[in-house]
Chains A and B, each alone.
Chain A
C-alpha cells in the first residue's frame, strides 16, 4: 500500500525549532518529487516546500530562509527543518508525493505544529 506517515509535530515556543519527518512506503521514493503543505485551523491550504529527485529545493517567501526541506532516499524519508518559528507557522503539516510538475497524488495524514509561549 502506498503510504506517507508524518511525525515530529508538537508544541514549540516562538523562535524555536522543530524537525518534521515523513516516512514513505509502497513506492519508489527516490523517483518522486516530495512536498510539504500546511493548513492552519479553519484556513486554506498553503504550499510550504518541495524537493525534486535531484535534490533541488523550492520555497515560498513566507518560509524561505527559515525552513529547509531534505530527503534521505536510503531511508525513504522526507524531512522539514523549521527554524525561527512564529505563531503564524501554527498548522497541520502534510507531506505529499508528486511527479515533476505533476499534482500531489498521495498525502499523509498530517502532523500538528503549535507555536506558542
Chain B
C-alpha cells in the first residue's frame, strides 16, 4: 500500500491553521497514524486510528478521514510544531509511511 502526502513542503506562520493530506493507494479503513519528527530525534506518535489523539498531545492537533483519504490539521501553529510529519498505514503488512511533509516557518 502506497501513501502519498501533500504537500511535501509547507511554509506557514505561528498562529496559522494548516492541513496535511495523506492518500492511500487502496482502502485502509481507519488504520492510519500520524507522527511528528524533529531533527536528530525519533518520531513521536501524534494520532492513531485516523482521529484519536495520543495521550499528552495538544488538542490543536486533529486527524480525520477513512478509506483512502486522511488529513492532519493543526489549528493554530505554535513554534514547537515546525517539524516533519509522516503518516503510516497499519492496515496490512508491509506497513508503509508517507514520504513526509516538512513544515517550515514563513
Contacts and interface: CB of A to CB of B under 8 A. Distances in A.
A50 B88 contact: no
B102 to A, nearest CB: 10
A101 B92 CA distance: 8
Contacts of B94: 47, 58-61
B86 A47 contact: no
Interface in A48-75: 50, 58-61
Interface stretch (B12-20, B42-50, B66-74, B75-83): B42-50
B88 A109 contact: no
Nearest to A61: B94
A45 interface: yes
Given A45-B86, A47-B88, A94 B42 contact: yes
A110 B41 CA distance: 9
Contacts of A59: 94
Interface of B: 31, 33, 35, 37, 42-45, 48, 54, 86, 88, 90-91, 93-100
